[in-house]
Amino acid sequence: MSLHLTATVAARGLDVSIDVQGGHTVAILGPNGSGKSTLLAVIAGILRPDAGRATLDDATLFDTASGTWLPPHARGTGLLAQDPLLFPHLSALDNVAFAPRSTGASRARSRELARTWLERVDATELAGRKPSALSGGQAQRVAIARALAAEPRLLLLDEPMAALDITVVPAMRQVLRRVLAGRSAVIVTHDVLDALLLADHVIVMESGRIVEQGPTKDVLARPRSTFGAGIAGLNLARGLVEGGAVRTPSGLLVAGLHDESTVTEGAAAVAVFSPGAVSVHRERPTGSPRNVFAAVVRELEPHGSQVRVQTDQISADVTAPVVAELDLLPGAEVFLAVKASEVAIYPA
């Protein structure tokens, strides 16, 4: 699989050129209105560009010079939106079976395939339920299975976790991480964790243009755009898995959500969490099942509307009143707390 695309959509200020290589997941990041969804719509064939050309392997998806235009269903692309859009009258199993059924597989074979896909997204037990009996996260897992069951050459995901309850996002991210591994996909997201955990490459868009692109680690380590800089600075704790948590060489033990099939005891792993998920205290917080670390404030720096508190290993974003209230100055001894549900652990 390889996608080459150049497109302009004047009414939306979009002017881009992208390449996606086979087996790679590309994350598209950028502020609101930067053109991420527009770009995805152009690839999927929902929106016609004013000018441009795109090829997916040997198929020309569109070419405005020659007037070529492939309709969405003939593109070999599968689109997963924020809203799962399941057929309300069909069970989860039949929703997923719909894809192979519509390409000619028998009813029995389609259901067999559907079961396999449901299993891959941890939704086996949901097979018989109608969409009205599914939670948002469950419905989205079924929608992922349905999109995959169509075996698209390129999977397009438009903020697939944006509509989900925040508590189910980490588990959904693990499911996506599993199903996207080695698959050709483009994922639009607001969340840098998605880029870090799901994507090989990152494209950063601003005002309809690509302002940065490259391997995820490079872009996030050395961001050159304003947006890139804003999303950098995630907390990363590297170490070895110990009882489902990550033990760093300096002794921190960071508990988090993890997929037991990929994160195994004793193996190298990384725990990732956003500075926004870290709370700062002067007294050791008690009574909640959280990660609590003693630390010393090294530096304070403005970060958007907040203040980033840097300690030796972990940074936290807090509001200015919190800085004043806790009297946070370099040298202050603090406790940093982060819920395990806000931490994603994955193999290093």
Which residues make up the interface to ligand ATP (CB under 6 A)? 12-13, 30, 32-38
| Ramachandran angles phi, psi of 27, nearest 5° | -100, 135
Cα–Cα distances in Å, from 80 out to 148, 160, 204, 219?
10, 7, 20, 25
Angle at 124 between CA 118 and CA 130, to 5 degrees: 85
> Is the CB of 11 or the CB of 221 nearer to ligand ATP?
11
> Is the CB of 38 or the CB of 315 nearer to ligand ATP?
38
Tokens 């010393």 -> residue: 296
Distance CA 41, CA 39 (A): 5
Distance CA 117, CA 102 (A): 16
> Is the CB of 37 or the CB of 174 nearer to ligand ATP?
37
* Amino acid at site 233: G
Burial class (CB in 10 A: 0-12, 13-18, 19+), 226: exposed
Smallest gap from residue 168 Cβ to ligand ATP (A): 21
Smallest gap from residue 193 Cβ to ligand ATP (A): 16
Q: Strand, coil or helix: what is 125? A: helix
> Is the CB of 111 or the CB of 201 nearer to ligand ATP?
201
Polymer length in residues for the chain: 348
> Is the CB of 30 or the CB of 45 nearer to ligand ATP?
30
Smallest gap from residue 154 Cβ to ligand ATP (A): 18
Smallest gap from residue 160 Cβ to ligand ATP (A): 13
Provide the token pair at 113. Answer: 């395939």
Closest CA to 306 of 338, 334, 336, 278: 278
> Is the CB of 5 or the CB of 270 nearer to ligand ATP?
5
Is the dihedral angle over the CA atoms 18, 24, 25, 29 positive or is it negative? negative
Smallest gap from residue 61 Cβ to ligand ATP (A): 18
Q: Are 207 and 34 in contact (CB under 8 A)?
A: yes
> Is the CB of 178 or the CB of 209 nearer to ligand ATP?
209
DSSP alpha helices (H): ranges in 121-185? Answer: 136-149, 169-180
Smallest gap from residue 36 Cβ to ligand ATP (A): 3
What are residue 316's DSSP bridge partners?
309
Smallest gap from residue 30 Cβ to ligand ATP (A): 5
